[in-house]
Every structure is written in C-alpha cells, then in structure tokens.
Amino acid sequence: MPIQKVLAKIRSTWMELVGQELARGMDVRAGFEEQLERFFDLLIQSVESNDPAWMDSLLLDWAKSSTESDLEEGLYQVTFIINRMIALTIHVVHENLSKQKALELLEAVVPIYTYCLGVVARYEMETRVAHISSEMEKAQKQMERMDRSKSAFISVAAHELKTPITLIDGYAAMMEDMIQEGKGVPLDSMLSGMQNGIKRLRTIVDDMLDVSMIDNDLLNLNFQPIQMEKMLDALRIELEETIAARNQTLNIELFKGSKLWIYVDPVRIMQTIRNIINNAVKYTPDGGSITISGRTLPGIIEVTVTDTGIGISQEDQAVIFEKFGQLGRVDLHSSGKTKFKGGGPGLGLPIARGILEAHGGSIWVESDGYDEKNCPGTTFHVLIPIRTEAPETKMAKLFGELDQKE
Ligand code: ADP
C-alpha cells in the first residue's frame, strides 16, 4: 500500500487525538481543527513530492500567531505543538498499523516533522531575539533620557539651593558687619530673613526626599477619615496671606461629596492640593482668581482647581507630571515660591501624581494652551477614590465603617 494511503487510513484517528490533546492544552484558537486538516493535507503533499517546503506557509502562519507575550515569556507554542504531534503520530501509528507499515510511515514523515521543527524553532527564536533587542534598545533610550534629566536636575537643583543659601549668607554677612561696626543689629528682620531662606531650603530638600520615596515605592500612607470640605477650608486659611499678596481671589465652591467622610492620608492629600494651588498662584497674574470645585463620580471624588493664568501648552501638558519634565529652563527657576512665574525644581506635580497614585487615584490637566497675554487658564483634575473603610486594621478598630450622617 502506498504511503499516502497509509496516511489516509490513520487520518481520522490522528485528527481526533491531536485535536483533543492540543486544543485542550492551549487556548483553543479559532479553526484549530481546520488548521489540522490543512497540516495533514500538506503532510501528504510533502510525502508525495518528497519536498517538506510545502509546509512552509502553514508553519509561518502558525509561528506568526504566537503572541508577543508568549515569546516574551519564553513560551514556544508552535515548537511545542509540533513536538507533541510527533509523539502523537508515533502513538497512532503504533496502535493502528503493523510493525512494517509503521516503520515505513515513520520513515517518510519523521524527516518532514524534523524540518517543521527547524523552521518553527528558528522563526520563534528570531522573533524572540528581535523582541529582546527592541526591549534593550528601549531600555538604553530610557537610560539616556534619565541621564540627561539627571544632569539637568543637578543644574536646576544647584541653582534652586544656591538662591536661599546666598540669602542666608547675605544676612549673616550683614549681621557680622553690623556687630563689627558696633551698630545695633535689627535681630527681628535679620532672623526672619534667614528663616525664610532656611524654610525654602527645607522645602526643596523635602521635595527631593518625597520624589525618592515615591520612586522607590516607600511612600507610607497614614489613612484617616476626613471631609474634603474641612481640608479645603484649612488650605484656604493657610494660603490666605499668599493669595492676598498677589491680589488674587480664592473661591471654594462646595460640591456634592465634599462633606463625605473618606479615608485618605490627609497630610499627603493636603500637600498635593497645596502644590496645585501654589502653582495656580504662581502662574496666574496679579488680580486673577483661583476656583476650587469638584463632583462625585462612582467611587471617586473629583476635585478641580481652575485658575485664570497663563495656561499650559499641549506639549508641556504631556511632560509636567514627569519628574524634571520642565527642566532645562534655568532662566525660569528662581526661588520665589509664589512669585509670578516663579518656577521651581519641577517636582511639585510629579509628587502630586505619586501621592494620588499611591491612593489609587490620579491627576490630569486641561488647558487651551500657553498664552501670557490672553491667559486661557488651567484646570487640574484630582481624582481620589472614595474609601469608606479603613485600609489598616488599626484605623478600622478606631473608626470602623464611616457613618455618612453629617
Ligand atoms: P515647578 O513649579 O517647581 O516648576 P511643578 O511640578 O509644580 O514644578 O510644575 C511643573 C510645571 O508645570 C511648571 O514649571 C509650569 O510650567 C507648569 N504649571 C504647573 N501648574 C501650572 C498652572 N496652574 N498654570 C500654568 N503652568 C503650570
């Protein structure tokens, strides 16, 4: 009996067995049975013509269907399928044919299977190597970017630190001169000047520490129950003087949900909103206004901070939440915390994002663009998840589930 006939004889048994085992083992891909039929047809064709290249198109189709993530994880699906097919063919042949016929058939099909394995393994390896190379390229680009931003950061940080140091230095020199000249030293004003410089230094160093904690996932949140309304009120009192100094107005609109009791880390959330308001003050001309409002969405409280300031270009909107995204403009960086366009080390928004993400929330910005003349304004949206149960057992014992009655 010619070998093609023998193949035809075992076809249905082979199809059933291979179909059953392989369709079970992996995600059943649509039309798997059809694919097996096609494989078997080509196998017969290859045997007839003694040319395994008939299998190429099918093998390539299969190899291409391996997802990137399969290969990323080192799952060589198609190599595995062919290997199993070889084992199952031997089994079917052994069960259904005489020894002689079995040997003849294996002699004809094993070289074709071996060829299939070679083609598929090469393709899968090549895809994996290409994937790894592209990952390495990406990592290298990222490292180069980080390297650039690191040196930019050093120059801005040095500049940021230098200004308050110069200020403190100046006061100290003035005091020294006055003492040497036997003049009375106006201690009050000197000390308050020095304290301002020290306060600014501390803020910059604290920001750097916060960024490093966020980067290393070390931000420890201390969840406590609060009402947004109370927190915003505290911020209003805290920032009253700053806002008055710039002749600006701060409107806080109560919104649905502002009285809701939720668990957050109040210190960190206040820091976030404070950063955003300080920016609004900084990038809004004298006499402008800042409005805080919000709403409740399913599972989330959204707080919005809108200013009538210079706005942010689309290009910058994409980078301001990145660490040091705004670097490279040493010209803008002065140590004026609330001075118009005062600049800063560019850490405020990345810290805000880090804190919100640690809460399971997020932040985004909306602005029609940057225009110092027409001042299109900017709105920051802060999304905070509504937690009515304490994430920590200690707090849960203290407060239990929050009662929303006012
Ligand atoms: P910094 O203020 O220290 O530069 P931030 O991370 O707080 O750093 O802000 C990053 C940048 O985003 C700012 O330098 C500024 O260009 C822009 N920005 C932030 N808030 C506003 C705003 N309300 N209006 C216009 N630009 C803003």
The model's confidence at residue 186, banded by pLDDT at 50, 70 and 90, is confident
Question: Residue 327: its pLDDT value, please?
Answer: 47
Contacts of 67 (CB under 8 A, 6+ apart): none
Among the atoms of ligand 1, which is closest to the Cα of residue 310?
Answer: 25
Residue 328: its pLDDT value, please? 42
| Closest ligand 1 atom, residue 377 Cα | 24
Quickly state the pLDDT bin for 72 (edges 50, 70, 90): low
289 beta partners: 249
How far away, in angstroms, is 320 Cα from ligand 1 center?
A: 7
Q: Cβ-count burial of 85 within 10 angstroms (0-12 exposed, 13-18 middle, 19+ buried)?
A: buried
What is the CB < 6 Å shell around ligand 1? Answer: 275, 279-280, 283, 307, 309-312, 320, 326, 343-349, 378
124 pLDDT higher than 90: no
Percentage above 90 pLDDT, the chain = 54
Tell me: pLDDT of 27 over 60: no
* 357-370 residue pLDDT tens: 999 999 999 999 99
Q: Which residue has the higher pLDDT, 60 or 152?
A: 60
Question: For ligand 1, what atom is nearest to the CA of residue 284?
Answer: 24
Give the Cα separation of 344 and 335 in Å (integer). 7
| Residue-wise pLDDT tens digits, 271-323 | 999 999 999 999 999 999 999 999 999 999 999 999 999 999 999 998 899 87
Structure tokens at 44: 């017969």
Q: How far apart are the CA of 346 and the centre of ligand 1, in A?
A: 7
Please give the pLDDT value at position 350.
93
Which one has a higher pLDDT value, 184 or 406?
184
Q: Which of 208, 305, 319, 326 to mutate to test the pocket of ligand 1 (most atoms within 8 A of CB)?
A: 326
Query: Ligand 1, atom 26: nearest CA belongs to which residue?
Result: 312
- How far apart CA 333 and CA 310 sit, in angstroms, is 17
> How far, in Å, CA of 70 to CA of 124, rounded?
10
Q: Strands 289-297, 249-252: parallel, antiparallel or unpaired by DSSP?
A: parallel
Amino acid at 31: G
Atom of ligand 1 nearest to the CA of 305: 23
Give me 82's structure tokens.
Answer: 């062919």
Mean pLDDT of 58-65: 83
Confidence band of 125 (pLDDT split at 50, 70, 90): confident
The neighbour count for residue 248, using CB atoms within 10 Å, is 22
Kindly state the average pLDDT of the residues 27-39: 76
Mean pLDDT confidence for 208-222 = 89
Mean pLDDT of the chain: 86
Torsion of CA 282, 284, 290, 295, to 10 degrees: -90
- Report whether pLDDT(119) > 60: yes
Give the pLDDT band (50/70/90) at residue 127: confident
pLDDT 10s digits, 239-259: 999 999 999 999 999 998 899
> CB-based contacts of 344: which residues, under 8 Å, 6+ apart?
160, 282, 333, 337
pLDDT tier for residue 54 given thresholds of 50, 70 and 90: very high
> How close is the Cα of 279 to the center of ligand 1, in Å?
6
Among 22-36, 86-100, 335-349, top mean pLDDT goes to 86-100
Beta bridge partners of 302: 295, 383
3 state SS of 64? helix
Q: What is the pLDDT of residue 175?
A: 87
- Given this model, what pLDDT does residue 330 score? 46
Average pLDDT score over residue span 339-354: 82
- Over 50: is that where the pLDDT of 334 sits? no
- Mean pLDDT over residues 95-116, rounded? 93
